[in-house]
Amino acid sequence: MIRPFVASDYSNLANLKNIVDPEWPVSAALLEHWDKSHNPEHHLTRFVLEEDNTLVACGETGHDSHAFEEGKFWLYIQVHPDYRKRGLGKQLYQHLLAHLEPMRPKLLQVFTSEDKKAGVTWLEREGYTLVWKRYPSKVETKGFDFSTYEGLEQTLQRAGIEIKSLAELTDPEANQKLWELDWILMQDVPMGVTLTKRSFEQWLKEEVDDPEFVRQACMIALDSKCNDPLTGNFVGYTSLMRGIGFYGIGMTGVLENYRGRGIAKALKLATMRYVQAHGEGEIRTINDPPNRAMLNMNTALGFKRQPSYLRFQKALDGRKLEPFTEEKILSKV
């Protein structure tokens, strides 16, 4: 039976997600926080499928709040491994399409990973086009040798660049400056989409107020000689999220005029040093194919590539979608 999701389902939903995708475990509290922090101006809905009073599958859809386009909706379906190959995923997919029909969808978007072969085959059979890839990678901080980079921070300090955590700053406008900096930097991230600027309040809810956000490990590069009207003396930053059993880097970026000085590397090293000092652990990050500088830097720091994340789309309005090829993307870099 397919029915709408209700608040009492959070615990069972978290259990389902952790079984389906054990690499990215979540808690019921975290799922509830994400739902409550979702932009209310953008659509979001979820259905669950039960058998014998057991939640065995889930289907979700909503607007892409980070790259909003009227009529563009993402879809996400998860089915318990013991209940696959019984058509449950297809039932949920059809149910989601019927739900979206009154909203006149123009573009459907589905994310998966290249190691999920069955899902990729199904999407291709349903007429979806691979339009983008993202490259996840991870590094283990246990035993990481920072001595190779000892002189980097001193060099930056002599140039007037200081690195501090968000938790250390006493500036009452620190969050506002970070929001402005984040928007400037995000527009330079080559993700293959046109991003939507979130309001300061929405950004706070989704980023800084996220239970996984680590203020002590959100490292900010400060230039004492800079006093920008929007970003003040903030010239770069990296953020760190504490997941269940791992850490994740949300963003690393530096203003264009400050690039090429090793600031991004120093920021990332500062987060790695934080993780090592707090019990060690794995750090994960995600980058895009055209971002060669960041990919090369991560490789130099010991990050190891994982199976790529795939963005599939299906146009319902007649537009022609350009298939992703690494050669074509890299030729434009």
- Residue 285 within any structural domain of the chain: no
- Residue 188 within any structural domain of the chain: yes
188 lies in the same domain as 125: no
Candidates 42, 15, 37; CA nearest to 26 is 15
46 lies in the same domain as 172: no
Largest CA distance in the chain: 67
What is the CA 85 to chain-centroid distance, rounded?
30
The β-bridge partners of 50 are 55
Model pLDDT for residues 19-30, shown as the tens digit of each residue: 999 999 999 999
255 lies in the same domain as 269: yes
Strand 107-113 with 72-79, pairing: parallel
105 lies in the same domain as 160: no
**Domain encompassing residue 196:** 142-280
pTM of the model: 0.94
149 lies in the same domain as 272: yes
Model pLDDT for residues 276-316, shown as the tens digit of each residue: 999 889 999 999 999 999 999 999 999 999 999 999 999 99
**CATH number for the domain that contains residue 105:** 3.40.630.30
Whole-angstrom Cα distance, residue 320 to residue 333? 23
Q: Give the pLDDT band (50/70/90) at residue 212.
A: very high
According to the model, what pLDDT value does residue 280 have? 83
Candidates 327, 274, 309; CA nearest to 109 is 309
- Residue 292 within any structural domain of the chain: no
127 lies in the same domain as 195: no
Q: Count the domains in the chain.
A: 2
190 lies in the same domain as 215: yes
Average pLDDT over residues 205-220: 97
**Cα 136–Cα 139–Cα 143 angle in degrees, nearest 5:** 180
Model pLDDT for residues 135-151, shown as the tens digit of each residue: 999 999 999 999 989 88
131 lies in the same domain as 149: no
Model pLDDT for residues 91-128, shown as the tens digit of each residue: 999 999 999 999 999 999 999 999 999 999 999 999 99
Boundary of a domain, candidates 264, 280, 296: 280
DSSP collapsed to 3 states, the chain: CEEECCHHHHHHHHHHHHHHCCCCCCCHHHHHHHHHHCCCCCCEEEEEEEECCEEEEEEEEEECHHHCCCCEEEEEEEECHHHCCCCHHHHHHHHHHHHHHHHCCCEEEEEEECCCHHHHHHHHHCCCEEEEEEEEEEEECCCCCCHHHHHHHHHHHHCCEEEEEHHHCCCCCHHHHHHHHHHHHHCCCCCCCCCCCCCHHHHHHHHHCCCCECHHHCEEEEECCCCECCCECEEEEEEEEECCCCEEEEEEEECHHHCCCCHHHHHHHHHHHHHHHCCCCEEEEEECCCCHHHHHHHHHCCCEECCCEEEEEEECCCCCCCCCCHHHHHHCC
- Residue 301 within any structural domain of the chain: no
- Residue 294 within any structural domain of the chain: no
- Residue 302 within any structural domain of the chain: no
109 lies in the same domain as 151: no
pLDDT at 251 over 70: yes
20 lies in the same domain as 115: yes
According to the model, what pLDDT value does residue 333 have? 59
Q: Tokens for 322?
A: 């350009």
155 lies in the same domain as 249: yes
225 lies in the same domain as 129: no
